[in-house]
Structure 1
Amino acid sequence: MHIMVIPSWYSSPRNKVHGSFFKEQFKALANSGEKITVAYNEIWPITLFGKIKEKRKINFSIEENLRTYRYKDFNYFPKNPLMFKSFNKRMDELYKEIIKKEGKVDLIHAHSAMWGGIAASYISKKYNIPLVITEHSSLKYAKYLKDSYRKYIYEAYKECDILVAVGNGLKKELNEYADRDIEVIHNMVDLSLFDKERNSIKENDKFIFFSCAFLEEGKGMELLIESFKEAFFNKNVLLRIGGDGSRKVFLEELAKNIGIEKQVIFLGALSREEVAEEMKKCDAFALPSEHETFGVVYIEALACGKPVIGAKNGGAEDIINNQNGIIIEKNNLNELINALKYIKYNYKIYNEDNIRKMTIRNYSGELLVNKLKGVYKKANEEHFE
Structure 2
Amino acid sequence: MKVVIVSDYSLNSPYGGLQTHVYHLAKAISKNSVETHIITFSDRNEDIKSNNLNIHFIKRSSRLPMLFTIPFDAKNVINKIKEIDPDVVHVQGTHYPYNYISRAIPEKYPVIITVHGIMATEYKFNKGLNFIGGFISYLLEKYAFRKAKNIIVCSEVMKKEIGKLSRAKVYVVPNGVDCKKIDNFSSSKVVIHPSIIYIGLLEKIKGVDTLIKAINIIKDDIPEIHFYIAGKGSQEENLRKLTKKLGLENNIDFLGYISGEEKYSNFKSVDICAVPSRYESFGITILEAMACGKPVIASNVGNIPSLVDENTGILFESENEKDIAQKIINLLKNQDLRDKMGLNAEKRAKEFDWDKISEKTVNIYKKII
| Fold in common (TM above 0.5) | yes
Residues 35 and 200 of structure 1: CA distance in aligned 2, closer, same or farther (over 3 Å): same
Partner of 2:113: 133
2:367 matches 1:378: yes
Cα shift at 1:148? 4.2
Residues 375 and 345 of structure 1: CA distance in aligned 2, closer, same or farther (over 3 Å): same
Partner of 2:126: none
Equivalent residue of 2:367, what SS?
helix
Partner of 1:5: 5
Q: 1:364 aligns with which of 353, 362, 365?
A: 353
Cα shift at 1:164? 1.0
Identical columns (%): 23
2:11 matches 1:23: no
1:88-136 residue CA offsets vs partner (Å, 9 max, x unmatched): 3111221233x2xxxx4111111113322531442241xx111111111
Equivalent residue of 1:218, what SS?
helix
Cα shift at 1:374? 2.0
Equivalent residue of 2:290, what SS?
helix
2:212 matches 1:213: no
Partner Cα distance (2:191, 2:361) in 1: 43
Partner of 1:242: 230
RMSD over equivalenced CA pairs, Å? 2.5
Partner of 1:298: 286
Partner Cα distance (1:117, 1:251) in 2: 32
Partner Cα distance (2:192, 2:38) in 1: 46
Cα shift at 1:78? 4.5
Partner of 2:90: 109
Q: 2:161 aligns with which of 173, 188, 191?
A: 173
Residues 84 and 63 of structure 1: CA distance in aligned 2, closer, same or farther (over 3 Å): same
Normalised by the size of structure 1, how large is the TM-score?
0.84
Partner Cα distance (2:115, 2:169) in 1: 13
Partner of 1:278: 266
* Mapping for residues 1-385 of structure 1, pairs under 5 Å: 1-7=1-7, 9-11=8-10, 17=15, 19-42=19-42, 54-55=43-44, 58-75=45-62, 78=65, 83-97=69-83, 99=84, 104-114=85-95, 115-125=97-107, 128-139=108-119, 140-142=121-123, 143=129, 145-195=133-183, 198-201=185-188, 203=190, 206-233=193-220, 235-350=223-338, 351=340, 352-361=342-351, 363-380=352-369
Partner Cα distance (2:104, 2:72) in 1: 12
Aligned residues: 355
Residues 309 and 185 of structure 1: CA distance in aligned 2, closer, same or farther (over 3 Å): same
Equivalent residue of 1:270, what SS?
coil
Instruction: Read off the aligned partner of 1:10 and give its amino acid letter.
Output: Y
Cα shift at 1:168? 2.9
Partner Cα distance (2:355, 2:286) in 1: 19
Residues 86 and 123 of structure 1: CA distance in aligned 2, closer, same or farther (over 3 Å): same
Normalised by the size of structure 2, how large is the TM-score?
0.87
1:244-270 residue CA offsets vs partner (Å, 9 max, x unmatched): 223223322322332221121111111
Residues 335 and 76 of structure 1: CA distance in aligned 2, closer, same or farther (over 3 Å): same
Partner Cα distance (2:148, 2:314) in 1: 37
Partner Cα distance (1:201, 1:79) in 2: 41
Cα shift at 1:192? 2.9
Partner Cα distance (2:206, 2:143) in 1: 30
Cα shift at 1:323? 0.4
Instruction: Read off the aligned partner of 1:209 and give its amino acid letter.
Output: I
Residues 113 and 105 of structure 1: CA distance in aligned 2, closer, same or farther (over 3 Å): same
Equivalent residue of 2:60, what SS?
strand
Partner Cα distance (1:111, 1:37) in 2: 13
Cα shift at 1:353? 2.7
